Amino acid sequence: MDDILYAKLPIVFENYEQSLAHYKKVDDDTWFWDTYREVRMLPLYTPGGATTKAGSQNNRKADLDWTEYADKDTIDFFEQKVFPWLDKKGRIILLKTPPNDSLAVHIDCSKQSFHTRQHKLRVVLQGEVNSLTFVTKDKDVQPNANHRNLFVMNGGWPHYMTNTFDDWKYTICLGAPWEGGDTDEYVSLIEQSKDVIEIKKDNLPVDYEQYFEDSEARKRKFENETA
């Protein structure tokens, strides 16, 4: 499964509208700005239930817990339909993006873990799923369907998103320390998916290293923006 870019899983977030209504009411000052991905984030399931940007990072010493911002329907969805088949749980963050705005091209792992499996789980509460875009050597690649299913994506591949929806896009993201397990249940879910995008590793863009968070190109971009 290491070469999967995307797969729509046969798991639907039935009560997403209730969660969406809840998150739309969360005050803008509560969301923190991620300068690397260029997106607003709201911590939902973090080490110790931390709600600050620093506290919600990948701290493997603290047990993960729900934050005060997570609503009951989100908690029930993950506790009942997702956590039971994960080999380990992962942090959960909510992203929101205004219309016509874009997440920067980024890679959701470090250089050290780049050549390991880096599966991430996503569910879109509002917006277009097919606005997710992977950068390859030949062309950009996008899913060809919109849905409210949970889906897996390869976070270790350069990707970005431009919100083509006429309202804010809201996406729940589960990631590290989960990176794609080998449980029978997970393998079966991938096998049941009819919307799998696979890619050969040699299709990476030649200049992919510029998209790492600690790349020199990123550092120069940040310095220019804050100068």
User: Which CATH number fits the domain that encloses residue 208?
Assistant: 2.60.120.10
* pLDDT given at position 144: 87
Q: What is the mean pLDDT of the chain?
A: 90
The predicted pLDDT at position 216 comes to 54
**Residue among 92, 71, 63, 80 at smallest CA distance from 23:** 71
pLDDT tens for each residue of 61-93: 779 999 999 999 999 999 999 999 999 999 999
Rounded distance between C-alpha atoms, residue 78 and residue 81, angstroms: 5
For residue 185, give every residue at least 6 positions away whose Cβ sits within 8 Å of its Cβ, in sequence order, or none: 84, 85
Q: How confident is the model at residue 182 (pLDDT cuts 50, 70, 90)?
A: confident
Phi first, then psi: give them for residue 198, nearest 5 degrees. Answer: -110, 155
Residue 190, domain extent: 4-226
Question: What phi, psi does 188 have (nearest 5°)?
Answer: -65, -40
- Tell me which of 214 and 84 has the higher pLDDT: 84
Q: Which of 23-32, 76-85, 113-122, 159-168 has the lowest mean pLDDT?
A: 113-122
What share of the chain in percent tops pLDDT 70?
A: 93
Higher pLDDT, residue 173 or 194: 173
pLDDT (mean) for 166-192 = 93
Rounded Cα gap, residues 146 and 51, in angstroms: 30
pLDDT for residue 54: 74
Mean pLDDT of 172-183: 92
pLDDT at 214 over 90: no
Q: Is the pLDDT of residue 215 over 70?
A: no
pLDDT per residue as tens digits for the range 1-60: 458 999 999 999 999 999 999 999 999 999 999 999 999 999 999 999 999 887 777 766
For residue 150, give the nearest of 13, 17, 52 by alpha carbon: 13
- Kindly tell me if the per-residue pLDDT of 105 is higher than 90: yes
The total domain count for the chain is: 1
Nearest to 82 by CA among 7, 151, 132: 151
